[in-house]
Copies of this chain bind each other. A is one copy, B any other.
C-alpha cells in the first residue's frame, strides 16, 4: 500500500559531489551538489544541476569547465561546510583545509584529498526552471594511486564515497549485495 508524498525531489541514493571551479576573479571555489550523475557513454559525460544564484554558476559559464571531486567519509564535515556557505564570501578551500590542484586538462581546480576526480569540459547546458543542468564531457578520471584499477574497476568500499540523504544526513556505503550481471541469472530459468 502506497501513500502520496506529493511532487517533490526525493530519490535514493544521491551523491555528494564537490564541484570545483575558478570564479570570475580566478579564485578556486567549491560547491556541494547532490543533483547530477553520469549521463552518457560516448562521449563520457557527467551532469550537475546548479541554480543561477550560486557562485559556481557564473564560474562554469565563464570557464566552460568544472571538476567533480568524490569525497570519502573522512571529508563529511568539509562537504557539509562547503554546502552551507557561498564562495562569494568564504574561501572554502582555506576554511576546510582542502588543497586545490589545477587540472592539467580543464580550467578548474579539484580537491587533492578526494580519492576520485572527474575533470569536465562543458559540453551542453539545459535550463530546466530553478536549476540549469550543466553537462560536461569527461576529459579524465584521476584516482588516488593506492586504489586498484588493474581489473578496470574500483572497489567502492575502498573509494568510500559519501551518500547524501535528502532526509538530512550523510551515509557510508554498506555491504555488498552481490555481483552485477550475475545474481539475476537465477531468474532467467
Contacts and interface: CB of A to CB of B under 8 A. Distances in A.
Interface of A: 1-15, 34-47, 49, 51, 68, 70, 73, 76-85, 95-96, 112, 116-118, 123-124, 126, 128-131, 133, 135, 137-145, 149, 153-157, 159, 161-188
A78 B187 CA distance: 7
Contacts of A177: 73, 76, 162, 169-172
A149 B123 CA distance: 38
Given A3-B142, A126-B135, A177-B162, A183 B38 contact: no
A184 B126 contact: no
A39 B35 contact: yes
A159 B180 CA distance: 21
Contacts of A14: 37-38
Which 3 A-B pairs give the minimum distances between C-beta atoms?
A: A80-B184, A81-B184, A174-B174
A5 B34 CA distance: 24
B184 A176 contact: no
A149 to B, nearest CB: 6
B144 A77 contact: no
B135 A128 contact: yes
Contacts of A13: 13, 15, 156, 161, 163, 173
A154 B175 contact: no
A157 B6 CA distance: 21
A155 B166 CA distance: 9
Contacts of A138: 7-9
Nearest to A142: B2
Contacts of A9: 38, 40-41, 44, 46, 138
B34 A36 contact: no
Nearest to A97: B187
